[in-house]
Structure 1
């Protein structure tokens, strides 16, 4: 027969006692492992010692440094072995992402041994950078600097910290650290220069980027292909074509061989400036020299062709790409889809969706937006809305273009209430409405003849700091003129010009048609002349309405 002890005989240990017991067991375990590691180190079996330590550290939770520090033998006899042990601990904590513990090991080593291994510091900085702990990386580097050469500083460590500061948007602090290094007679390497150059270009400051590049030349730091790729790409994005081409010429004169990144940056620049002939000549020249283009290189050329509407040539280029063993990716297929959409070949856009899915690629937000646009323009508004609504279910977050496209579809369908709900949904998702978002709704209310709601939206957008553009004014001018409120239309036209906005063909046409409809032919013809002087070409219908106004 089983017997059970009465409840009162059960023994419960206080929680504090349990924690104390667990701590004591961890300490005993640490002491046993440390003793074994000392034995291995004395026999110079460093790999075995490291594996044993790694296994011990893999416990969950890993023991804090404080529980191990008390077991370290600081006697003269074990000094070298203990220094090695602490170095190993420092690295293991760092690899595990336990940066506070690794810092404790570092400080323990400095206090007891007076120095630390430079390579371990570099490894720690790499781990911090990989974890995007840029502030901790800077603080650790600053601590090493303050040790006044007790721990040697490598140029690689300097480059990692500078790059981390630049990537986190701390360009000013990065520059200050850079200048401090120069004052300390510690010459940064080319990677540090490259990080600063890129940071300045990304922030729209080409002058400072050129200053750093010139400083590299002055300090006899050889700029490499990566330097010039950064300069060319950065200048191109800022629309500084002449500076980008000058950087390429400078690279050639210095005898720096371009790599595929330079090749891609130059081709992208030439395509965006509309010089496709030169872009292809450039491509052929460097392929003949043995430089292998990648998917990004082909992507720049495909994008250039699609922007020009040369879709057949773009497809031929993609066949060439595949024949060289480079597979199609979602970016290339998105570019092709966008090209066909802009050309009005919507069936091709839908066909490309099937290609993407057959290849097992995931449709991204750009693909969904293009497909929705194509479906809407094919009069399949329900499918367009379904695409935009379903992307979230497939793990793709809509962007501001997705929301704005959905707003535009609802407005064109006359469903302004639903459009307003999408606007609120967009704000809830963290996107601020743009002029494009408001323009779609303003145009929707104008087409319904509801100028009061349209003007209320104009007031709302300006109250929120969204600046009205030429499309905003054109919709309102058209609305007023259609309802015979020509004076209000003229006031808006004047206000638009007063804000420095250049009226478009549609702006002029709406205003001229409004004047002509009211029989104000002299004013209409004056505006028509202004339109021609501005280099804008009216259509035949506008001229007919002008002539007709002479007989009203």
Structure 2
């Protein structure tokens, strides 16, 4: 009635302005206005008014109403332009309704409207992101005969996605099509593809691709060379690995520690010590910074070779280097033989020697044997230290022997060994996992009384526990204390407190913490957004929830179906309440 009293001549411009000016959650009102306008003498909806109505319905996530509206305008003979199809597809994709987006895309390409290469590129990109590779291949096969092609970036995404499912057949076809177009994949796609080829023992093909890259205008980078060298060494093809290495150096690359390690480790493991040493010297001349592990691997193998050639007797340092190497690789028989050889040679193993063997036994899950070694040999010789206990305690916790781990912890003080931050962190996390929060809290208090500073994991674990037990203010104090101690919270730390605040109906504080998080080094992840949106829905702050959802999608995250349906349901419920209020006012 109010609209009828306005003495204006209705036109498309007015209708569009009204629809575009409506705030969030007012699509029902907009639909009512659209229907009223349709009934006015001399007025007929056009492409632009229909488009505005569709945008409004999508913005408010009114997808059931959208479907009915589309049927309505189709029945009236309205021809849907590709720009409207694009808006609808985009809306469904943003809401995570991929199957509906596929349905609309199929309708678009079957309709009389003209479809362009960009439409296929965008939609195939969506399917790649959703790992719907069969459908992506189908649309790709449809677009090529029409003279369309993918962009280099979409081709690259397609190739890298297919690598996850090892569809090498389709990748080969895509590369052939790119050759015909004079296009080449991005370097990251090349590297992912080469890694998969090598894993599948197709080294010759990988090497051919490496050689052809420069000809196609895409120079290999250090990752490309490192990948090929690493796999060639794993398959024992050292001559070709060295050839690729020299090719890399000849191209002016300054290899990093990873590239050097791939070759040196491979050569050392196959006994090619002389060649590994020669290459290492060359790296040192080029002032490449090598990691300790590279030096350790080379030194270990050089020592072994020298011992064989010259009959020299190793000393304690020599044996410890060899023990470290063997125990890291769980070569326990060889490690135990080394210990026996040490004692036969009159060299007494030190605490480092025994801790290496203890580490190896724990890695092999020989926990009883590790305990007997510690109390039977190490302790009697005065070689037990906090590292020894921590090594065994963490192994027991990983194997879910929490009581045994705690008993061992209690033994420490009786044996004259003081627990450190690592000891407490191991046990606190283990007790929380086992649901023994009381013991975890006692240990934390004990740790603080000893003036030991917890690490980020311990602080985060405590914050999460305090939130779950309703002690939000204390959790917040712990969080602030962590920052004061110079420990930067990570995304898990933020999520723990944000989740607690939301569940305690303190969503405003959660939003403040979220804003702080956005300006820190720890950026929100999918969990952050899901928790926040859930909290905002519970407190009926739907406009804010929609804004957070928008930011979530801008950052490349998709809200899961359960939460998105909950948000849509809340918006509809609010709309229904508003309509009842308006009807009540009219009756008065």
For this structure pair, what is the TM-score category when the shorter chain's length is used for normalisation? 0.3 to 0.5
TM-score by length of 2: 0.42
TM-score by length of 1: 0.44
* Higher RCO (Cα < 8 Å, 6 or more apart): 2
